[in-house]
Structure 1
Amino acid sequence: MLALVGLAGCAVGPDFENPTLPASIGYREASLPAQFAAGGSGETQQVVLGRDIPGDWWTVFGSSELSVLIESALAASPDLEAAKAALTQAQENAFAADAGVFPSVQLKGGANRVGFSAESIGQDYTEVFTLSTGQLNISYPLDIIGGTRRQVEAAVAQADYQRFQLEAAYVTLGTNIVVTAIQEASLRAQIEASEAIVATGRRLLALVERQHALGSVALADVLAQRSAVARSEANLPALRQNLERQRNMLRALAGRFPSDPLEAQFAFEDLTLPGELPVSLPSALVEQRPDVRSAEAQLHSATAEVGISIANMLPQISLSGSYGRIGTENILSSGGVAIWDYGVSLTQPIFQGGKLLHQKRAAEAGLATAAARHKSVVLGAFRDVADALQALQSDAETVAAQRTVERAASESLAIAEGQYRSGSASFLTLLNAQNTYEQAKIGRVQAEANRFVSTAALYQALGGGWWNRQQADPDDQEATS
């Protein structure tokens, strides 16, 4: 018995250990920049290393409509409902597995109508009576080698996996809504710029047509300007179609149908580029990324599965006992006869055609797979942060360059218009200046949109602040306690 008690504190198979990261791990080969500046009067974003990320990180864009839309989407998203249901299922499975460490108690009872004929012993009568039974059975599999505890461990790890899948769903939903709203704002600005370009083109067309009527320009110049106006107008339907697609995407993300109203409308004037960017320490990233934590939970479960496969190859010991009464009278009265038994059983697999051995090898291969996947997810997490930081730097430089291009193109167009009116510049010069300004203005809008998107991507790459999410369900917190 002392030996059994000593063994009861052990569990077969490897114990799970959190994977360690290199001490010199970082986001970039070079040091992080202190800021991302767009040059001139452009916005500058300061890098704040080690700052925590709020659970409602999207509020940094300063749009109340965006915050309201995301909050309503978090309450209505079918993807989140599915993730919550999957978490509940995994938690209940963990509770069910945990019940295996306790004794099992069953109560059995029954009543049978029995007829006995005495003809076999030369008597001429038949006895009919009721036989009642009641029995309490108790069984307790002794988890001496820890196989049951490993099963509980694996089930709890699966619940942790589903919990972090839910957190990833929260982060992904918020990010998708932010990015879609930014794309809507970008498309509205591009449509506005394209409509202004069309209006300018029409004014120039009217000027060219008057000069053609006076005989000062050729018909070819009129036709060229008409073609330029038509080309600018042709861009508008595609932009409006993409805008409607973004609106439908926002409805879908918010759990609404395309026919449902969507009050929120987004423009760059309603969004603020955050002036400070939190960048978590590299050592904290693996604790913050829900996909890394999910991969870690799968690695934990795979480790426990190896222990389960080893336990299946070893002896299984269980205690059992029962007590009851049987009789033709009320079994609760003294008329019944007591029946009882108790004992211990041992089961040792001898030959199963190599099944248990191959299951153990499969579990070990599954552990190696989970370890490799965990490493891959960690590498991907650091790559995401590095890509977001590089994108922010490139976007700031691109915005500065595009603003310079736009200012130069605007000044060049104004000079070309004046020279054309005075007759000192050809129409081709005016047309080239007009096309250059058109592209510069739209390019600047797209560059600014990319900077907003890269900012949202950084927040997502750093984990999205799920650990500070105020809406976190108590059951979710319990899953990892």
Structure 2
Amino acid sequence: MFTLRPDDALRARKVDRLCRFFWRAGAVLLALLLNACSVGPNFSRPPAPKVSQFVHGDPLRSPLAGAGSEQSFSAQTAVPSDWWTRFGSLAIDSAVDEALTGNATIESAQAALRQSDDEMRAGAGVFFPQVDAGFGASRQKYSPARLGGNQPSTLFNLFTLSASITYAVDIWGGQRRMVEALRARADAQRYTVLATYLTLTANVVNAMIARAAYRDQIATTREMAELLREQVRITRAQVEAGASAYAAVLTLENELATLEASVPALEQKRAQAEDLLASLCGMLPADWRAPELSLADIALPPTLPDTVPALLVQQRPDILQAEAALHVASADIGVATANLLPGITLSASGGYDSTSMDALLHRAGQVWAVAADVTAPVFHGGTLWFQRQAALDAYAQTRASYRQVVLNAFAQVADTLRALENDALALDAQTRARDAAAEALRLIKADYSAGTVGYLQILIADSQFHQARIAWLQGVAQRLQDTVALYAALGGGWDSPP
């Protein structure tokens, strides 16, 4: 008879504790493999460019003065979501509201966003067991001769009721990476919608400003044409009196014809601006009319946001869209890597088979199966390996594209800031030229009242004043549009409260 000695019992207890330890450790390790292991790189946001300002050299002077108005930059000024209201025009606000509610591109982008969200939710279904149920009814004829028997054929009905459940164990995190990529695609589409909003609102405001500028230029040009017609009439009278040569009439008529020819071109540009606004608002040109607007009705925003360059990458929709695309490429690497590794699928099925519908749920016809399948890729001709290499190459390509988007964004902001500075300088000079022409006209009118000059000199001075005014109007419109460009370049303020 075998007797267990005390030291053997102690040794057995130690072995038992050791086995329990390894069993628990193995269970914990298995749980970690099933729930925490994700191959491939973990995505992190690319670092922002380490610069303190957008422009090269000395920072911009502030305030930017021109045409009696100033613009200054302030770090306390945020970019509001409804940035177009800073121009103080109800006509512009109304046009933007119509565009945001009726634009077809916005509607398409929103539908694409809903599609990407639904695809992400559909992809998340891989985390749950897949349960299916089925019912089948058939009439069959069975011949025992197929198995070497001599019995006659049998004709019978077969009814089958079954259910199955399968679950793919995400050991390496490939499914999680796939859902991560779908979520990043949804983010990219969300930023596409924001970029579409920003582009749309900027286009509407720019079109309204351009239309107002064309309107004012047309009015001023027609006034100049009337003055030239008066000059032609007076010069003809001087020619008939022998006080002037006929060449002077021809010169004035040539100038008048050139000026009159510029009016249809301006009318065409104004009509194109109106047609563009109708299209942006989702309406036909024949069904929509832009509200009347003059440059005098548009206020220049006096305070502009002084955004830190490092924050630009966090608020421009196109940069955020490129970042989301980079996230997709990163997650695709994990998916391709997981495809190289073994996979486990758990499954179970059960049901009832019966030749009679009444006895379908009888215990005698009960069937079931439980299985665990392990599949490991052995040889695929390099397909899986090069798919992973392709994912790595796609990531490198997307990273370079992201870098280029950031560079373009910073260049756009720098260009806009310099443009605003130059606009102020140019408009200041144009304002002085307009004021000088107005003063010259006033003095010539005084001389005409004193009888020292003729009326023709007044017409000439008045024409010069109108020419200076047209140049001034163009400068005002350019400054307003470059201000719009700054708001757009800074991202439109979608992350700031309205």
Same fold, TM-score > 0.5, yes or no: yes
1:189/1:445 contact within 8 Å kept: yes
1:51-62 maps to which residues of 2 (within 5 A)? 51-62=77-88
Quick one: distance in 1 between partners of 2:425 and 2:391? 51
Quick one: distance in 1 between partners of 2:102 and 2:364? 62
* Residue 237 (structure 1) shift: 0.9
Residue of structure 1 in register with 2:323 after alignment: 296
Structure whose CA Rg is larger: 2
2:52/2:309 contact within 8 Å kept: yes
2:219 equivalent among 188, 192, 196 = 192
* Residue 467 (structure 1) shift: 2.7
1:448 equivalent to 2:448? Answer: no
SS at match of 2:178: helix
Residue of structure 2 in register with 1:473 after alignment: none
1:391 equivalent to 2:383? Answer: no
Letter in 1 for 2:425: E
1:311-390 maps to which residues of 2 (within 5 A)? 311-330=338-357, 332-334=360-362, 336-390=364-418
1:61/1:272 contact within 8 Å kept: yes
1:402 equivalent to 2:439? Answer: no
Residue of structure 1 in register with 2:495 after alignment: 467
1:10/1:146 contact within 8 Å kept: yes
1:268-324 deviation per Cα after TM superposition (whole angstroms, max 9, x unaligned):
122111111123222221111000100000000000011111111111111111111
Alignment RMSD, CA only? 2.5
Residue of structure 1 in register with 2:258 after alignment: 231
* Residue 2 (structure 1) shift: 3.6
Quick one: distance in 2 between partners of 1:319 and 1:86? 35
1:87/1:166 contact within 8 Å kept: yes
Gap change, CA 1:116 and 1:282, over 3 Å in 2: closer
2:352/2:362 contact within 8 Å kept: no
SS at match of 2:55: coil
Gaps of 5+ in 2: 1-26
Residue of structure 2 in register with 1:478 after alignment: none
1:329/1:335 contact within 8 Å kept: no
Residue of structure 2 in register with 1:72 after alignment: 98
2:352/2:361 contact within 8 Å kept: no
* Residue 377 (structure 1) shift: 1.1
Quick one: distance in 2 between partners of 1:398 and 1:79? 37
SS at match of 2:285: coil
1:60/1:274 contact within 8 Å kept: yes
1:98 equivalent to 2:124? Answer: yes
1:416/1:425 contact within 8 Å kept: no
Letter in 1 for 2:164: N
Quick one: distance in 1 between partners of 2:144 and 2:29? 57
1:111 equivalent to 2:169? Answer: no
Residue of structure 2 in register with 1:479 after alignment: none
Gap change, CA 1:147 and 1:122, over 3 Å in 2: closer
* Residue 387 (structure 1) shift: 1.3
Query: What is the count of residue pairs matched by the alignment?
Result: 466
Quick one: distance in 1 between partners of 2:293 and 2:441? 30
Residue of structure 1 in register with 2:70 after alignment: 44
1:329/1:336 contact within 8 Å kept: no
2:231/2:252 contact within 8 Å kept: yes
Gap change, CA 1:418 and 1:230, over 3 Å in 2: farther
2:193 equivalent among 143, 166, 181 = 166
Which shifted more, 252-261 or 216-225? 216-225
SS at match of 2:379: coil
The share of aligned pairs that are identical, in percent, is 36
2:51/2:310 contact within 8 Å kept: no
SS at match of 2:133: strand
Residue of structure 2 in register with 1:474 after alignment: none
TM-score by length of structure 1 reads 0.90
Quick one: distance in 2 between partners of 1:77 and 1:261? 13
* Residue 100 (structure 1) shift: 1.1
Quick one: distance in 2 between partners of 1:118 and 1:382? 82
